Structure 1
Amino acid sequence: MSALTIGFDLDMTLLDTRPGIRATHLALSEETGTYIDADLVVTRLGPPLTQELANWFPADQVEAAADRYRVLYRDHAFEPTVPLPGALDSVAAVRAAGGRVAVITGKYGPNARLHLEHAGIAYDALVGDLWAETKGVALRELGAAVYVGDHLGDIVGALAAGAVAVGVTTGPYGAAELTEAGAHVVLADLTEFPAWLAGYRASDRS
């Protein structure tokens, strides 16, 4: 029998990346002379970076802006980023159960890896640059039984993979919106996840 695999989103699920993302957008704005409302940006994290940058840059400049953002990110984003409440304990609970932790994120993969290392979050698989249904492809390939995320796109990904969709209200959406999107369960934050996981495993064995 294969090990239980639990997938987690990164931004606003495992890590509060808002300060670092805000700082990086401000640095990009200053360098390029293009106005970016960084405070607005951090209220709607989740979709691909290029989708956000398209709000501020002409279409023919978006890819170059994204490339530069990813470089600036390494100087501005890691230090102010901290694990969200319960993140470390949730990962530990999966591992204590003999499970595998898979981080499936829309973030650029190499920067996601550095984030996890800086935060001291252990993982067994990491796939970046995915969003909504494309997250579902990776979850299915990894055999993930559960996917935990804060965004409606995360719920879409979990459902596309046939995984249990666990929503957390640490991002831009509340419990009602996550439930309406199809979440099977909604938690206030990851402090509630270890107990939920214990109940899930118990019911799965019964």
Structure 2
Amino acid sequence: MTHDPAPLTVGFDLDMTLIDTAPGIRTVLRVLGAELGIDFPVEEMTAALGPPLDLMLEPHLPAAAIPAAGDRFRELYPSHAIDSVPLLPGAFEAIAAVRERAGKVVVVTGKYAPNARLHLDHLGLDVDVLEGWVWGAGKADALRREGASAYVGDHVHDVEGALAAGVASVSVLTGGCSREELLAAGTHAVLDDLRAFPSWLEGHGR
């Protein structure tokens, strides 16, 4: 008796994989800094997006002030960081490539889920499942639950999540991590950007 293969499910990171959130995050950090009387080094802070907001703020604020600052960042975000954030090259095509194979698209991101949803809706990205506020190996639970066979990200910690889930790790160079860093972390494939993803997907699972 033969069994039909499991349907294709591909997970994607959001920030710097599908969308360029750096401009929006820089704006929010400037507004937050003005409220707090702190001149955040926003270029440095957004050079390699991916880690949770608390870790981004940690070097610049007392520990006791971080939770409230994080809450305020998330409150400011919808007004300052949605309209200015574009899709990265190949994002629509990457999702379409999964759809052409009757596949499911899962976004697994460290971003606060309601704000991630605003980006997806604003840019018209066709996504089946959104899992927010998960980071590194913590992404594995969602990937396993949804039956993903690959996870696409831009950061070494996205590689960590894919490997923890036991799925193919595909990395793009649109974030702050280099090809060498991503390969050293154990990724299975490095693409310049998502425009190369449909070709990679052609060979996935063969």
Instruction: Normalising by structure 1, report the TM-score.
Output: 0.96
Alignment partners' CA distance in 2, 1:127 and 1:200: 24
Residue 166 (structure 2) aligns with: 162
**Percent of aligned positions with the same letter in both sequences?**
50
Residue 108 (structure 2) aligns with: 104
Residue 7 (structure 1) aligns with: 11
Alignment partners' CA distance in 1, 2:194 and 2:104: 17
1:35·1:56 contact (CA, 8 Å) conserved in 2? Answer: no
Which runs of structure 2 are paired with 1:36-185 in the superposition (5 Å)? 36-185=40-189
Alignment partners' CA distance in 1, 2:169 and 2:126: 21
Alignment partners' CA distance in 2, 1:57 and 1:44: 19
Instruction: Normalising by structure 2, report the TM-score.
Output: 0.96
1:4·1:98 contact (CA, 8 Å) conserved in 2? Answer: yes
1:16·1:81 contact (CA, 8 Å) conserved in 2? Answer: yes
| Cα deviations by residue, 1:99-121 (Å, 9 ceiling, x for unpaired) | 00000000000000111111111
For structure 2, the 5+ residue unaligned runs are none
* Structure 1 stretches of 4+ moved >2 Å: none
Give how far 1:31 is off: 1.1
| Cα deviations by residue, 1:157-202 (Å, 9 ceiling, x for unpaired) | 000000000011111112121111100111110000011111215x
RMSD: 0.9
Alignment partners' CA distance in 2, 1:92 and 1:55: 40
Alignment partners' CA distance in 1, 2:41 and 2:187: 31
Matched to 2:107, the amino acid is V
Give how far 1:11 is off: 0.5
